[in-house]
Amino acid sequence: MREHELLGPWLRRFLTEYIVTERNLARNTRSSYRDTFRLLLPFASREVRKPVDRLMVRDLASSLVLKFLAHVEDHRGCSVRTRNQRLAGIKAFARFVGSRDPAHVEWCGCIRAMSSKKSMQPSVGWLTRPEMEAMLAVPDRRTGRGQHEYALLLFLYNTGARVSEATQLKVRDLSLGAQRGGHDLATLHGKGGKIRQCPLWPETERVLAHEIRDREMDAPVFVSRLGTGFTRFGVYRLIERCAAQIPMLAGRAITPHVIRHTTACHLVLAGVDINTIRAWLGHVSISTTNIYAEIDLTLKANAVALCEVGQERPRRSWKEDKDLMAFLRSL
């Protein structure tokens, strides 16, 4: 068996050379591709009855990939969007192999011809201002732990940051200089290595200044009760725990992304233009941000009022319009 027919060497080159060195893809994208094959390889091994290290590229036939995608949905309980994400990782690998070995062009074409499944755009979940204020009131700020949790919740609401952007925030990323004639800013490192700056409210600046006292520049801004940086899982648990203590949020799934949606929706209600909100949230395309222009019934009612058909006005002959006749004679 020739080495270029084995799946292992190709996959190693794809994960360690192509997506890191050649493409320089974001860390989360690399993790997504890695996780796809961590699921796919054991599944393929069981289907073709071969050890993982003896799998061949052609063993990943389109029929097997379809079975794997069905397994992701039916047995793992994943959504259609997750299923399509797994397929995107497999297609990227097929494109890599096909572009470097003509013997696998046909296999590559079969994989890349597979279609993504249509999925419904999930509705935008967000909190009203009283609900968000209730969330901020949950942490007990008389304790150190409550102060840490309040600072994190307030920062998420202020900036609309993704959970990964908040957990990766370092002390050096904060510019707290309003009292010295500057601007209070947080530098966020977003998806794809993109960097953006978000202004901070005076309350956020005060809380964060207290949080980072006596900390090194490379230290995380948000720390848990153990003194270590918050993890993604820790942020999710914190928000779930706070939401569980608010009766008006009973039965609703509140996540860090819901708070991100909340920031965007409140900016829309405040009259901030959609392009500014796009830059605030770090969206590449404004079409992603446009969903927030459709979420509030108040905005829709105002738009309808502007277009409301009123009572028909009595018509008047243009000859009776003295101002119009004077205007015409003056030309």
The residues carrying an active-site annotation are 162, 191, 257, 260, 283, 292
Distance CA 127, CA 265 (A): 9
Calpha distance 41→29 (Å, rounded) = 19
Both tokens of 154, joined, read: 């307030």
Backbone angles phi, psi at 197, to 5 degrees: -115, 135
- Whether the CB-CB separation of 256 and 208 falls below 8 Å is answered with no
CA–CA distance, 295 with 291 (Å, rounded to integer):
7
Name the token pair of 109.
């074409």
Q: Smallest Cα–Cα separation from 264: which of 247, 249, 246, 279?
A: 279
Residue with tokens 């901070």: 200
Q: Which amino acid is at 179?
A: Q
Residue with tokens 């732990």: 145
To which residue do tokens 């079969």 refer? 110
Strand segments, DSSP code E, in 170-327 are: 174-176, 184-189, 195-199
Instruction: Round to whole Å and give the CA distance between 198 and 38.
Output: 37
